[in-house]
Amino acid sequence: MKLYGHPYSNAARRVQMFCEECKIPYTYQMVDLMKGEQYAPEYLALNPNGKVPVIEDDDFVLWESNTIMRYLADKHKAESWYPRDAKSRSQVDQWLDWSQTRLGPEAGKIMFNTHFAGENGNKQAIEDGKKWLQKILPVMNALLSKQTYLCGEAITLADLAAVTNVAYLEMCRYELDEFPAVCNWYSSMKQRPSFVATVPK
């Protein structure tokens, strides 16, 4: 299997982390987003959205990070990561969607305008993102104050989706101290070999 990604793509990183966690063999093909390689005709033939990640699994092509993780979990029977029980699976889906629609956009907004745009960054966008995080992170903190992971006492795909977004916040020096349960969860997640192996170089 070939995984197309970029070291600073949190979406590609979560797929790579899952592959590392489950020992799924893959080759990593870097797509240089800074050079616009995601818009090359041959890449757009794989993903017309011009985004990473993409996987090529034999002759099967798939994009969207959470969809890729679900597919790989099903294919490799990683049921602890993505349970087959309808209620348990729905909980994982709930937090995957939450990361995609709530946490991810704000973390990405702050990351882009601080880490990549530099002096040209949109300061208002950064402040707006921080304000939204003050509404979003308490939800996560309240849950993690009662349990070890987002869906209970076992790590799931939901944690991988969330941790790569929180990693963006750390890169931007966003203070998480007022959310101690999130801090404890993140500290634990950072110790996992899959996290260490995928830290952007």
Tokens 């890449």 sit at which residue? 43
What residue ranges do the domains of the chain occupy?
Answer: 2-75, 86-193
What pLDDT does 112 receive?
A: 86
Among residues 139, 123, 198, the alpha carbon closest in space to that of 167 is found at: 198
Strand-pairing partners, residue 152, are 149
In whole angstroms, what is the distance from residue 135 CA to residue 194 CA? Answer: 29
Q: Regarding the domain delimited by 86-193, which CATH topology (the fold level of the hierarchy) does it fall under?
A: Glutathione S-transferase Yfyf (Class Pi); Chain A, domain 2 (1.20.1050)
Token couple for 37: 């390689």
CATH of domain 2-75: 3.40.30.10
What pLDDT does 188 receive?
A: 98
Q: What type of residue sits at position 17?
A: M
What pLDDT does 123 receive?
A: 87
What pLDDT does 25 receive?
A: 98
How large is the angle between the packed helices 104-111 and 157-171, nearest 10 degrees?
A: 30
Q: What type of residue sits at position 120?
A: N
Q: What type of residue sits at position 167?
A: A
Cα 146 to Cα 177, 185, 193: the distances in Å are 18, 11, 25
Token couple for 85: 């029980």
Q: What is the pLDDT along the chain (201 residues), one digit of tens a residue?
A: 999 999 999 999 999 999 999 999 999 999 999 999 999 999 999 999 999 999 999 999 999 999 999 999 999 999 999 999 999 999 999 999 999 999 999 999 999 888 776 777 788 988 999 999 999 999 999 999 999 999 999 999 999 999 999 999 999 989 999 999 999 999 999 999 999 999 998
What pLDDT does 59 receive?
A: 95
**Does the global pTM surpass 0.75?**
yes
